[in-house]
Amino acid sequence: MNEANLELPVLSQEYWFGGVVRHGYQMPFGRGEYRCQLNGNLAGNQGCPLLVSTRGRFVWSEEAFTFEFKDARLRIEEAAGPVELGEGHGNLRGAYRAACAKHFPPSGQWPDEIAFLAPQYNAWIEVKWEPTQEKILAYAQAILDHGWPAGVLMIDDCWFRGNGDWKFPRDRFPDPCGMADWLHHRGFKLVVWISPFIAPDTYTYRVLNQKKFFIYDAQGEPIIRRWWNGYSALLDLSNPAAGEWFTEQLDWLVGNCGVDGFKFDGGDPYYYLPQDVTHRPISPNGQCEAFARIGLKYRLSEYRACWKLGGQSLVQRVRDKGHRWGVDGMGDLLPTGLAQGLMGYPFTCPDMVGGGLVGDFGPGSTIDPELFVRYAQASAMFPIIQFSRMPWRVLDERHQALCKDVVDLRKELGPEILALAKQAAATGEPIMRHMAYEFPEAGLETRMDQFMLGSDILVAPVLQAGAVSREISFPPGRWAGDDGSVVTGPCRIEVAAPLSRLPWYHRKR
């Protein structure tokens, strides 16, 4: 059924997921009140015009819409295109797979295997706004010196002289090719930060303005818009020539500097307005989607903001989290990761272990060692794990060792996670799965603090400060624990979880 708008009752024992990843901590929907306008603001993370239910229904549109749960009813309003209701697909997995097959089929491609076999290391917290070749190589050498495996190494914001001038400045990076060769020789892959913003009062700005590659106002002047790094012009990616120019800059970095991929940042719909003058008609969400499509060319590409493009070979990162327990910190890592999977983004990555906000690690800040370790454990079995501030910089030897245990576990399970990534590329199914996705009859629709890694690994990290045990809901079957125990489900039991333990269980077939 296709309609301009929809209104339907929420069925008995029906729960819904979807819309905006950032609101994963409010999912599942269906019993309380919730309203979300998808057009123009995705809350700094991924979004998709998809809702899926535990009773085998889905809602899809090619365009943005507003949806509301209220009085046990789902209302779809302000739809910019036809809205489809799919029914009769049995359960959450059936609804997701039906929507995936019809509207965002898997590409058959997956990111570079190193993303699943080793950690990502983002130098952001260590070097902040002043990265240099010397600092990057010292960061990488310290990783190796402490016995950690080489992985993806990211140089974050401000490695360039100005936005749009995507070249390594030789006063800070005297030999970028030599730097890349050094990293490659030791097993690292090099990723650099990139954005669709162009600094004004630069030669690049003048050239691109002459080519009409920007977004303009009604008077034909380039719009200079504020973002977190100041004020910039915005590339108009509705213009194919502007997209080609941007890709040429990235390809130059790959071909001439040894860069292996890109962290694509910015591109959020809220930086674009409906009244902006563009090369062709395009919505703010459409600009976000166009920016995300650029990353499809590269085996390593990370996005924080994305619209649609489920089933594609893009690493999708959870929005920046603080060094804290609870919402906007470690507490909503799992809900947002689960939401990503149910919107078609299987290759999900949590924020940096311990948090990704620079201010939380600045002078005078206090680092909670227990939180840091639990953060690492909660991230360990995401499809991808990412560090920035390294444990030996902020933790004592005991807590450092516990983080190293997490990395060793990750290395052990890496081949199994890679196999799940390849499966996701073929089927479109999540790697990190909601309990109700695998066990629709177990009554686990609202359980958001544990998850399945594929079909056979149950993961239940500790998410509360000071906790040395936690309750786990075991589905039917026999479950062999990391602690040597065997649990026969279904049951709900309290298990011991000292700081040294990440509780996880493998299903015995």
**pLDDT tens digits for the chain (509 residues)?**
556 789 999 999 999 999 999 999 999 999 899 999 999 999 999 999 999 999 999 999 999 999 999 999 999 999 999 999 999 999 999 999 999 999 999 999 999 999 999 999 999 999 999 999 999 999 999 999 999 999 999 999 999 999 999 999 999 999 999 999 999 999 999 999 999 999 999 999 999 999 999 999 999 999 999 999 999 999 999 999 999 999 999 999 999 999 999 999 999 999 999 999 999 999 999 999 999 999 999 999 999 999 999 999 999 999 999 999 999 999 999 999 999 999 999 999 999 999 999 999 988 889 999 999 999 999 999 999 999 999 999 999 999 999 999 999 999 999 999 999 999 999 999 999 999 999 999 999 999 999 999 999 999 999 999 999 999 999 999 999 999 999 999 999 999 999 999 999 999 98
Of 485, 484, 479, the closest CA to residue 509 belongs to 479
pLDDT score at 362: 85
The answer to whether the beta carbons of residues 74 and 16 sit under 8 Å apart is yes
List CB contacts of 135: < 8 A, sequence separation 6 or more: 123, 126, 127
Q: In this structure, are residues 197 and 234 in contact, taking their beta carbons and an 8 Å threshold? A: yes
Angle formed at CA 344 by CA 298 and CA 246, multiple of 5 degrees: 30
Residue 6 CA to residue 79 CA, distance in Å, equals: 9
Nearest-angstrom CA–CA distance, 79 and 73: 17
Sort strands 386-387 and 120-122 into parallel, antiparallel or unpaired: parallel
Residues 449 and 461: their CA atoms lie apart, in Å, by 8
Helix (H, G, I), strand (E, B) or coil at 222: strand
Predicted local distance difference test score (pLDDT) of residue 503: 98
Residue 343 in tokens: 């919107």
Neighbouring C-beta atoms of residue 211, cutoff 10 Å: 12
Q: In the prediction, which pLDDT does 501 show?
A: 98
What φ, ψ does residue 10 adopt, rounded to 5°? -80, 125
Q: Which domains does the chain have, with CATH numbers?
A: 2-103 (no CATH), 432-508 (2.60.40.1180)
Check if the beta carbon of residue 197 is closer than 8 Å to that of residue 233. Answer: yes
Residue 1: the pLDDT is 53
pLDDT for the residue numbered 433: 98
Q: What are the C-alpha distances in Å from 82 to residues 4, 65, 75, 104, 502?
A: 5, 10, 14, 16, 45
How are beta strands 457-459 and 451-453 bridged, if at all? antiparallel
Distances (CA, A) of 24 to 45, 89, 332, 452: 11, 23, 7, 16
β-pairing, 486-496 vs 432-433, is unpaired
